[in-house]
A and B are shown apart, each in its own frame.
Chain A
Amino acid sequence: MTELPIFASEGRVLQPTRTPASVQACYSPESSERDLIERAKRDPRALAALYREHYAPIAGYVYRRVGDVHVAEDLVAEVFLTVVRSLRRYRYRGVPFRAWLYRIATNTVNRWASRRRRRAAQQATERAVAATQTDGAGEADVGFVRLAMLSLPLRYQSVLALHYLEELSVEQVASAIGCRVGTVKSRLSRARQALRDRLEQGR
């Protein structure tokens, strides 16, 4: 039996003063994740606790991929609405709940990104040309890097973002996107090369 990956805690502590007593009572450190998920299917307070625990990390992931706070907020809303609608069918199988959230978030961002790939490639090129005309060769700015990444095939964007931006292990990435560890490794290798090619086009 394959050992299941464990997601490291983000280390983010809920501010007690910002958490209503009803939610605090529901979310206790002793509650297992599985128990909380099952309660969240029928208890709004448990659902609120689940949402508050995972909102910021998922929002961070989406934001790092799309680069715009307002776009990220809309997409994160879409993610959690999907979670709420699908929660009844969710079955805890020993894999952290966060893996499922990352999968939904990845799908949501990929749908958004798929409509922008070509435009992102054009903008990356324009930006690179502009940069060489102003200050010559320099370090790639964040905007250009993000555009370069958004111009990659979606399966490359996903593994790069989950492994390098979210710092998930290869096993955790495989768990999040539902494929083999070997596939993730080979995809990461190809993705890095593809990103390198994009970045070098701007030099």
Chain B
Amino acid sequence: MHEDTDPVSSALESLRAKRWPGDFYDTELEERLMRESEATRTSFRISRHRTLIAALAVILVGGAAFAAAGGVEAVKEIFVNVTIRLMGPDGESYEVVKLQSLDVENGEASATLSIGEGQMATMVLDHVSGTDLTDEPGVVQGEFLATITIDGAAAPDGDIGAERTIELSMTANAGETVDQEGVVEQIADAEVVVPWVDAAGEARELYIVRRATETEPVLKMFSSRWLDSGEEVYDMVGLLSGVITDEAEITGVEVDENGLATMTLLLEDGEEKRVAFNADPGGAEILNESLERTVITISHEDE
């Protein structure tokens, strides 16, 4: 069927013909934007002087480490994505996802991580139900109690701890050879590919892959990098599952030269969620430098 007689084309043409009936610009909106611009500049100056206190609203999802191909030894570690929610002074929120390794001892996993501005948080996971935590390879699924304590300056409201029971799904990659071909196959079907240039001037790409089967995490994030040999390899830099469904739409992804990736998701209920993660697995600490307007507040979240 010729496109010009195609009902779809006719329908779209009828919408395209609708012109904006308003003015070239809205003077009231312009004034409002000027006020907002001034307020934004003022609040940025204020936020730099605030004491930054950590807040952890932790959403833990499974993570796996893939070492590079070419005969590099496999990694024996357990990784977990830790989500830290940071609030900006204008109410914007960012969730920073870090791939964090855990030490497992006697069924308890713990980690200490930097959350910016010299603050350190200690996270301990205690097994509640389901598969126990061990350092043996395999899929771990179960319920764990996450206890987070934060060192550093006291919180404004005096409470710096958060305790919640959450569902956690982790994959341990221990003693397994990395399958680069498998990764290449997945990224060929990537829903989003974002080229970026790192601080060293290397051209790299971030791939976001939506799952093909229900047993996988909803989204997987891979990042390319170059070996000295000139070979391009891929690392998994994050997974998202549990808190999002297949209906979640990726509405935007950006990566800056520090490897800070910001992904915006539109959830099924209309809520917008922004996730930040490190697209550069070898990159330096990003929390301090990239999230300029970070006012970290205490968050106790019930699920």
Contacts and interface: CB of A to CB of B under 8 A. Distances in A.
A103 B14 CA distance: 23
A13 to B, nearest CB: 10
Contacts, number: 150
A56 B20 CA distance: 7
B50 interface: no
Contact of B11 (A48, A115, A145): A145
Interface stretch (B29-37, B98-106, B133-141, B150-158): B29-37
A178 interface: yes
A110 B268 CA distance: 11
A154 B33 contact: no
B12 A155 contact: no
- Chain B, interface residues (CB within 8 Å), range: 35 or more
A96 to B, nearest CB: 15
Interface stretch (B78-86, B161-169, B186-194, B279-287): B186-194
A183 B191 contact: yes
A1 B201 CA distance: 13
B253 interface: yes
Contact of B266 (A89, A107, A139): A107
Interface in B96-129: none
Nearest to B92: A85
Contacts of B14: 140, 142, 145
Given A63-B20, A195-B8, A110 B251 contact: yes
A192 interface: yes
Interface in A40-97: 42, 44, 47-48, 51-52, 55-56, 59-60, 63-64, 67, 69, 72-73, 76-77, 80-81, 84-85, 87-89, 91
Interface string A103-117: 100110011001100
Contacts of A148: 11
A70 to B, nearest CB: 10
A183 B250 CA distance: 13
A111 B268 CA distance: 10
Given A107-B251, A115-B270, A164-B15, 8 more contacts: A12-B24, A47-B37, A85-B36, A85-B90, A91-B256, A111-B266, A114-B266, A178-B253
Interface of B: 7-8, 10-12, 14-16, 18-26, 29-30, 32-34, 36-38, 40-41, 44, 90, 92, 190-195, 203, 249-254, 256, 264, 266, 268, 270, 272, 292
